[in-house]
Structure 1
Amino acid sequence: MRIALLARAHAGTLAVLFALSALACLLVSGLPRATQGAYDRALREALSAAPAVQADLTVAGESRSPREDLRDPAAFAERERRLRPLLPAALRPLVAAGHMSAKTSRTPVTGTGGQTYVNLGWLSDAGRRVEWVAGRAPGAPSTTRFRGQTIPLFEVGVVEEAVRQMDLRVGQTRTLGESDFAAVRVVGVFRAKDPSDRAWGHDQDLLHVTKLQPPGELDFEFHTTTLISDAGLAALSGEARNLTYRWVLPVNARAASAMSVSEVEAGVAELGRLLTLQATSAGPYRLETGLPKLLGDFAAALTTAQTVMYLVLAGLLAVALGVIVLGVRLLTDRLDQALALARARGGSLRQVAGTGAALTAVAVGPAVLAGWALAGLVPGPALPVAHLGPAFVLVAGVGFAAARTALAHRAPLHERRGDGAAARPSARRITVEVLVVVLALAGAYLLRQRGLSAAAGLDPFLLLVPIALTLAAALVTARCYPYPLRLLVRVAARGRAAVPFLGLTRAARARAAGGLPVLILLPALAVSVFAAVIADGIDGTQRLASWQQVGAPIRITSPIEIPAATIDRIRATPGVEQVVTAQTGRVQLGYASESAEALAVDVAQWRRLLDGAPVALPEPPRGGSALVSPELRGRGTLDVGWQSRVKVRVQGVAESVPGFARGGKFLVLPMTVLTRPAVNTLLVKGDVAPEALARLVPSGAVESQERALAAIRDDPLTGAVRTTLAVVTAALAFYALVAVVLSLVVGAADRARTVSFLRTLGLSDRQARRLTMLEVLPMVLVTAAAGLALGLGLPAALGPGIDLSAYAGDLPVGGYDPGLLTPAALAAGLAMVAVLGAYAHTALNRRRGLGDALRAGDLS
């Protein structure tokens, strides 16, 4: 047959099929690219935001004797050249050029009683990273005499902070050690050229003085690491002190990919194993890194994101294929008479089926290429599904056209009666459908009972249960929705009006093919409502998490007391409505070493400040009583050491306090129990910029609920989930509307013949419109109700399988309470399209002559 002639004759239907196929391919190919790109950005931001000591790989070794010492930078470089080949293949693209260091630890200053420690440190790239603000750079070491023996004398540079806090001045000489001595002479003072350089994350001991309070001691220890020259390595030995060599292999976050997280985790474990097997003169190596934990946390959040994405994308693909199948069915119905004539004239079944498949390929083939090409413009890596999805659309569309044409025309001059009763379903079919329903319900129950699989990666059980539930709901709806209509038919039969009886009768006697729109509409509505419910749940929990983090619209915290005059200026700032003062600190419980976090605040005022917020505060403590965390319950009376000794009675238990504590040991006291409150926290309500308050409290840190919410929402992984859910919701709503329109068009010929017959009996145009609506609306409304119910119930049915806390400020997303806007809009949209389609169909049918319609019906 001439494909070009048939294509011109059915250009409108082919255009619709082209648009549906192109959109489907764009979505199933573009959305995975976009989401994977977001996953990659999220991983890169997580690695970039993490401290360098956690994200980077550091190979460490210790020297304990002169034969293990590395005496010059060349020895370090040679050792690094040996280490690089040990990197597994998954790590090599991630590891960039790093630096090396040699440092002593816990090197006491002689005569300080272990209160002052000055360590020696060497950096391979010190010339690039530091600048000298006083004195000069260290030179070669020499010797000096101390207690009758010759000891090495190192020229060192110290950081500016050590000059202020440890009284280390240029020209000063200090002796180190308690038995094996060495001396250092301060010849210069340095600072970091770029303190934000990630490399300093490994060398914070060089930039800052560390203050430590040993257990049971009242005094602090002061530690600093000085900088020696390359020549100083010749005199630096691990024989008499703790000497550690490190080779820092920084991880390039920009080269990270979410697809290779598991391979990188395995590579880190393999590198650690290989390092322990290396036998060198410097002793065994060890790997120091927090990368596995970072990747593990990210992988946990990624698994949930991928699960939700696969759920909604699988539903989108199924619905898109269903709509395409409905479009192909419309095309094959239009070809029915031409193919029947060709079959009657001697055409083979292969030729007839090939014609249907070829004509479908004329529309679907270019559409698949166009959608796939447009998806290539979406930024993100091309996953296999980005190529397999469009190919599956092409095979499904063309294959359905060939199969349906072959089945319809397997015998020449086939005849189908429109007045015959529909065949009863076989026992085998009913058994299969019942089995599907039972398995779906059992799967949902088991998923709630056992939760997710502990194995890494996606849990197939979680992906199969929603599909089974949707299929079961569609089967039940398609099988059962004619029965309540038959009851309505009996009621309508008692009335005098013929239109309700005829319309409901046609709806109740829909053929088995009429169930195809149900199988499309129900998943479309269920998945779109599910996506909307999940998005609403994430949005509400994100807002709750932001209030939990801050505890007020604006919170100001200061390490020192905020003066009363400053508080008065804040109260007088335009836009400020309310200010609640508070004091926080760590207090001693009893007279032992037990301690807890304490908050002194007027809880009643705080509750008024939070009026209308989604967080709730406990009832305020009365008198001198306190609220305590669950770990402190049952204490009766607490002796609290805070400014002075205070005894408070435990009044109640608070699981958490917004903006203050979510766990651990804590207590909430009234401000009146303090002898002289030293306010260091302000809770502010009003329409005022946080920057304006920050200028009034230079020593304070200003946090706002709006900023906390923006930080949660701006996470790339969270943004990917929210964006994909929104796109899928809109796409499925569109497909649901298209399915309604196509279902009207597919049955248009049969409906036109019926209306034409009835018009010869006096049916008016108004009655024809009502008849069409009564025929179509029951299927739409029943399916919409079932789809909405399933979509609202899926989050609860999946239960522990969906843990979205990673996208909601680490708060569990549960108790989904969606608004009625989305379900009402979807149901109203479908009903409106059905009504408009009925009116349009009646209007178009009115233009046709009664003779044309009847002759067309007679030919069939």
Structure 2
Amino acid sequence: MSIPLGVRAHAGTVALLAVLAAVACLLVSGLPRTMQASYDEALRRSLATAGVARTDLVVTGAPALPAGEMHSRAEFEAAGRRWRGLIPAALRPLVAPGGHISAKTFRTPADGTGDIREFVNLGWLSDADRRVTWVRGRAPGAPSSMRYMGSAIPVIEVGIAEEAEARMGLRVGQMRLLGASVSTAVRIVGVYRAANPADPAWGHDADMLHVTRVVPMDGPEELHTTTLMSDAGLAALSDRTRTLTYRWILPLDPWGANALDAPGIPPAVADFHRQVDVQGDGTISYRLVSGLPQLIDAFMTALSAAQTVLYLVLGGLFAVALGVIALAVRLLTDRLERTLALARARGAALWQVVAAGAGLTALTVVPAALAGYGLSFLPAGPALPIVHIGPAVVVVAAVAFAGTRVALAHRAPLRERRADLAAVRPSARRVTVEALVVVLALAGAYALRARGPSGTAQQDPYLLLIPVALTLAAALITLRCHPYPLRLVVRLAAKGRSAVPFLGLARAARQRFTGALPVLILLPALSLSVFAAVIHEGITTTQLLASWQKVGAPIKVTSIEDIPADVIERVRRAPGVDEVALALTGRAQIPDTGEQPYTVAVQLDAWRRVTEGAPITPPALSGATSALLSPALGQRGAFDLTWLSEAPVNGRGVIDSVPGFYSSGQFILLPWEVLPWPAANTLLIKGDIAPAELARLVPSATVETQAAALRDIQADPLTATVRTTMVVVTVALGAYALVAIVMSLVAGAEGRTRTISLLRTLGLSDRQARWLVLLELLPVVLITAPVGVALGMILPAALGPGVDVSVFAGGLPVTGHAPGLLTPLALAAGLALCALAGSYAHATLTRRRNLDAALRVGGE
């Protein structure tokens, strides 16, 4: 047989197979690349937004003896080069050049303190010349000395931040004595500000820009600031009171990170930590400080959840794509059957016949696979092994299926068989294997629910296999059970007056080709597409709920101090404000136990009006002294609460969270009427008013909106990837289901055309012909579609806690998985329309056939 001649003779089937192979290779290679690129983007964004104080590698040194002290820039820089030389290879791409070094004292008391204790720490920055701008005075110079209490002590020239000048009363020209036993003095010679306040490096040195206020439980209020000295001041910086710390900042480059290498980062940091530890001696000790491992672990947990869900649906998509390709290959080999049978009868060897069928398939699939593989490189992303392996699997599977089927069909010359007869009874071995698959799938689903989440950030192969097993089990059960109701319907149709229902349903019962393979394709396609739609809708719904839980109202205005009554009134009268609920938050105390829970008092009736139509409902409280307590406080009866004033409170139950305020720890919800006088530091607003206008009306407040909170949740790259992939997979699987229906129609077209043409000679009308085709297709759609849709809706609950997508829904658990009717109805309607359109088109085409051909021998 000439392969090019076979291509020309069956151009339509060859083109269909080529398109299916190209699309499958594009999906299996392109989607993983896009997903991995989004994983990298999510990791980089999470590291970039976490703050340098958590991501950078910070080597700290604490001198224990004078011999361990460093008094020159050269010593610090030499140590910095040593740290960079010790960085493990896995961390080097993440460590950016540059960084800086600092030397600081902490809790250094200054003289002259009264009711407020002042601590003036000494500080040095290796890159101060580019990070600060001197606004008054001058930059510090070399230190000097002075006599104090009969001893010589160093006098170090320092500069102070503008905030320290304003809040602590420090002035240029002022001298302060430092240390509990006065070991050093400082002379203030200048005032500076940050040259670029947005410079991330200030995340390590915020104490040099701002004054820190500390209120100890058993002491007076404290104010802390850190001054800035010159390189020359290092010569006089010593650790006589053991409060001196050196720090080498090795900055992290977030854009050098990728998700594939992320699992190796925590072990590399631990290795670096061990190497830093052993560098110390008896004079100085070193240690590594970094929050990078915790950030990576949190990211890997979210990534594992994303990969689990996406691998579930992508694995199903790939399996369905291979099934549809197998259906197309079977259609092609059926078209070649007569030609190959004739060649076999004329003496062709079996290997020649197999080579002809497999060669034609390879000639079709290989170029299409290469085209799909090439198109997959259009989206950005790393080339994972699946990108290269997937197209090869498609080609090998298609060619192997074609060769195997041809070999089985033509292993003996002139082997006659009837394609319209009922299938033979399955062997006991086959029934046993199918029953074993069903039992293992059900047992696996039960074990997965009983076990719960795997508790690791690694992929769980057990979890990935269970959905496939459940889908296969459902398909096998459907295949074994669907003939029984179909035979009953055929018997009922046989008693009717019209022959069309009986003929159509009888052909459906006898067509082996439109039975097993289409069901094995349709059922997973429908179930996984519904599963993806259910998960997508569950995430979307929970994201909305999480945004309301975070803000508690369409708009929330929170002030650091009580909002005056006239300001509240201006907000009420502002254009666009429909409703305002007042709330007061603070820390209260339970005298009997000493507990200090967070407390919020809200105008509950007004709050309900503010949240009308929202997915949250404020709780109801009866009585001015009623209260709801957090689970951490537990059930309580009457107790006293000290907040603004002491008042009796009656516990009325437990509440898991107060939307917009508290969701963990110890907290109490009270009605606003419990307050001894009207006060509010939080406004819950319903209306259409710009946040900037509210910020202008309440200058001391921050403004949050539910819409912005929802955007923040949805803006996460991992979340966007999961939602987008779910939509793509749903559409692709729905399309594959339709293709399976069309190919089932095309597969029996020849025999069906011959039958309809013969029946036309007996008076079959066009309308009856369309009904005949439709009734032949209906069993596949009517039996498989409900099972597939039902399985897709059950899968999220069957997988139970193994599929945790809360990280994509603002941290709230995605429970219920209540899907809307849109997706199931759309899929069912699409299949029905496809069946109707196919039956109409097929009946129309057969009408053009010459009826004389139906009376010839063989129907030709």
Shorter-chain TM band: over 0.9
Gaps of 5+ in 1: none
Pick which of 483-492 and 810-819 moved more: 483-492
The equivalent of 1:212 in structure 2 is: 214
Q: Is 1:384 the counterpart of 2:391 in the alignment?
A: no
The equivalent of 1:135 in structure 2 is: 137
TM superposition score normalised by structure 2: 0.97
Structure 1 residue matching 2:597: 3-state secondary structure: strand
- Amino acid paired to 1:45: R
The equivalent of 2:85 in structure 1 is: 85
The equivalent of 1:569 in structure 2 is: 570
Contact 1:301 1:806 in 2 (8 A): yes
Pick which of 807-816 and 3-12 moved more: 3-12
* Partners of 1:92 and 1:481 in 2: CA distance: 61
> Shift of the alpha carbon at 1:295?
0.6
1:587/1:419 Cα in 2 relative to 1: closer, same or farther (>3 Å)?
closer
The equivalent of 1:620 in structure 2 is: 621
The equivalent of 1:775 in structure 2 is: 776
1:420/1:780 Cα in 2 relative to 1: closer, same or farther (>3 Å)?
closer
1:642/1:767 Cα in 2 relative to 1: closer, same or farther (>3 Å)?
same
1:762/1:105 Cα in 2 relative to 1: closer, same or farther (>3 Å)?
same
Of residues 158, 162, 165, the one that matches 1:163 is: 165
Structure 2 residue matching 1:632: 3-state secondary structure: coil
Contact 2:63 2:242 in 1 (8 A): no
The equivalent of 1:53 in structure 2 is: 53
The equivalent of 1:608 in structure 2 is: 609
Residue-pair matches, total? 858
Contact 2:420 2:510 in 1 (8 A): no
The equivalent of 1:693 in structure 2 is: 694
* Partners of 1:858 and 1:823 in 2: CA distance: 41
> Shift of the alpha carbon at 1:712?
0.4
* Cα deviation digits, residues 392-428 of structure 1 (max 9, x gap): 1111112211111121111122211245442110000
* Partners of 2:655 and 2:33 in 1: CA distance: 46
Pick which of 633-642 and 51-60 moved more: 633-642
The equivalent of 1:537 in structure 2 is: 538
Q: Is 1:101 the counterpart of 2:118 in the alignment?
A: no
> Shift of the alpha carbon at 1:226?
0.7
* Cα deviation digits, residues 305-330 of structure 1 (max 9, x gap): 00011001001101111111111111
* Partners of 2:319 and 2:105 in 1: CA distance: 64
* Cα deviation digits, residues 612-660 of structure 1 (max 9, x gap): 1111221124122222223334443333222222222223322211101
Structure 2 residue matching 1:285: 3-state secondary structure: strand
* Cα deviation digits, residues 537-577 of structure 1 (max 9, x gap): 00000000000001011111111222222222222222221
Once superposed, what is the RMSD of the aligned Cα atoms? Answer: 1.6
Contact 2:420 2:512 in 1 (8 A): no
Q: Is 1:318 the counterpart of 2:319 in the alignment?
A: yes
Of residues 121, 125, 128, the one that matches 2:127 is: 125
1:558/1:334 Cα in 2 relative to 1: closer, same or farther (>3 Å)?
same
* Partners of 1:54 and 1:855 in 2: CA distance: 84
1:439/1:854 Cα in 2 relative to 1: closer, same or farther (>3 Å)?
farther
**Which structure 2 residues correspond to residues 383-422 of structure 1 after superposition, within 5 A?**
383-418=384-419, 420-422=421-423
Q: Is 1:734 the counterpart of 2:738 in the alignment?
A: no
- Amino acid paired to 1:128: R
* Partners of 1:245 and 1:328 in 2: CA distance: 71
Q: Is 1:20 the counterpart of 2:17 in the alignment?
A: no
The equivalent of 1:203 in structure 2 is: 205
Structure 1 residue matching 2:274: 3-state secondary structure: helix
> Shift of the alpha carbon at 1:371?
0.9
* Partners of 1:555 and 1:456 in 2: CA distance: 36
The equivalent of 1:31 in structure 2 is: 31
Structure 1 residue matching 2:94: 3-state secondary structure: coil
Contact 1:481 1:779 in 2 (8 A): no
Q: Is 1:345 the counterpart of 2:361 in the alignment?
A: no
Structure 2 residue matching 1:630: 3-state secondary structure: coil
Structure 2 residue matching 1:595: 3-state secondary structure: coil
The equivalent of 1:288 in structure 2 is: 289
- Amino acid paired to 2:32: P
Contact 1:482 1:509 in 2 (8 A): no
- Amino acid paired to 1:815: G
* Partners of 1:751 and 1:614 in 2: CA distance: 55
The equivalent of 1:599 in structure 2 is: 600
> Shift of the alpha carbon at 1:281?
6.8
* Cα deviation digits, residues 142-193 of structure 1 (max 9, x gap): 1111111100110001111111111111000000012251000011111111
* Partners of 1:562 and 1:421 in 2: CA distance: 82
- Amino acid paired to 2:415: H
> Shift of the alpha carbon at 1:675?
2.5
Q: Is 1:671 the counterpart of 2:679 in the alignment?
A: no
- Amino acid paired to 2:630: S
Q: Percent identity?
A: 60
* Partners of 2:112 and 2:690 in 1: CA distance: 54
Contact 1:61 1:282 in 2 (8 A): no
Structure 1 residue matching 2:423: 3-state secondary structure: coil
* Partners of 1:80 and 1:414 in 2: CA distance: 83
* Partners of 2:549 and 2:227 in 1: CA distance: 43
- Amino acid paired to 2:680: V
The equivalent of 2:67 in structure 1 is: 67
1:157/1:281 Cα in 2 relative to 1: closer, same or farther (>3 Å)?
farther
Contact 1:310 1:463 in 2 (8 A): yes
Contact 2:602 2:671 in 1 (8 A): yes
* Cα deviation digits, residues 696-752 of structure 1 (max 9, x gap): 112111111111111101111100000000000011111110110011001111212
> Shift of the alpha carbon at 1:464?
0.5
- Amino acid paired to 1:743: S
Contact 2:422 2:509 in 1 (8 A): no
* Cα deviation digits, residues 499-557 of structure 1 (max 9, x gap): 11121222223326621000000000011000000000000000000000010111111
Structure 2 residue matching 1:589: 3-state secondary structure: coil
Contact 2:420 2:507 in 1 (8 A): no
The equivalent of 1:721 in structure 2 is: 722
1:4/1:491 Cα in 2 relative to 1: closer, same or farther (>3 Å)?
same
Contact 2:269 2:293 in 1 (8 A): yes
Structure 2 residue matching 1:247: 3-state secondary structure: strand
> Shift of the alpha carbon at 1:470?
0.4
The equivalent of 2:647 in structure 1 is: 646
Pick which of 147-156 and 233-242 moved more: 233-242
Q: Is 1:808 the counterpart of 2:809 in the alignment?
A: yes
> Shift of the alpha carbon at 1:230?
0.7
Structure 1 residue matching 2:155: 3-state secondary structure: strand
* Partners of 2:309 and 2:521 in 1: CA distance: 20
- Amino acid paired to 2:208: L
> Shift of the alpha carbon at 1:63?
0.9
1:734/1:232 Cα in 2 relative to 1: closer, same or farther (>3 Å)?
same
> Shift of the alpha carbon at 1:115?
1.9
> Shift of the alpha carbon at 1:686?
1.4
* Cα deviation digits, residues 72-123 of structure 1 (max 9, x gap): 1111111122122221111000001211111111111135379211111111
Pick which of 91-100 and 437-446 moved more: 91-100
1:138/1:855 Cα in 2 relative to 1: closer, same or farther (>3 Å)?
farther
* Partners of 1:723 and 1:525 in 2: CA distance: 18
1:430/1:165 Cα in 2 relative to 1: closer, same or farther (>3 Å)?
same
* Partners of 2:531 and 2:478 in 1: CA distance: 18
> Shift of the alpha carbon at 1:496?
1.3
Gaps of 5+ in 2: none
> Shift of the alpha carbon at 1:137?
0.7
Contact 2:344 2:350 in 1 (8 A): yes
Structure 2 residue matching 1:284: 3-state secondary structure: strand
1:826/1:856 Cα in 2 relative to 1: closer, same or farther (>3 Å)?
farther
* Partners of 2:214 and 2:696 in 1: CA distance: 32
Contact 2:43 2:257 in 1 (8 A): yes
The equivalent of 1:705 in structure 2 is: 706
- Amino acid paired to 2:411: R
The equivalent of 1:433 in structure 2 is: 434
* Partners of 1:420 and 1:137 in 2: CA distance: 99
1:150/1:857 Cα in 2 relative to 1: closer, same or farther (>3 Å)?
farther
* Partners of 1:435 and 1:87 in 2: CA distance: 53
Structure 1 residue matching 2:285: 3-state secondary structure: coil
Pick which of 428-437 and 346-355 moved more: 346-355
Contact 2:806 2:814 in 1 (8 A): yes
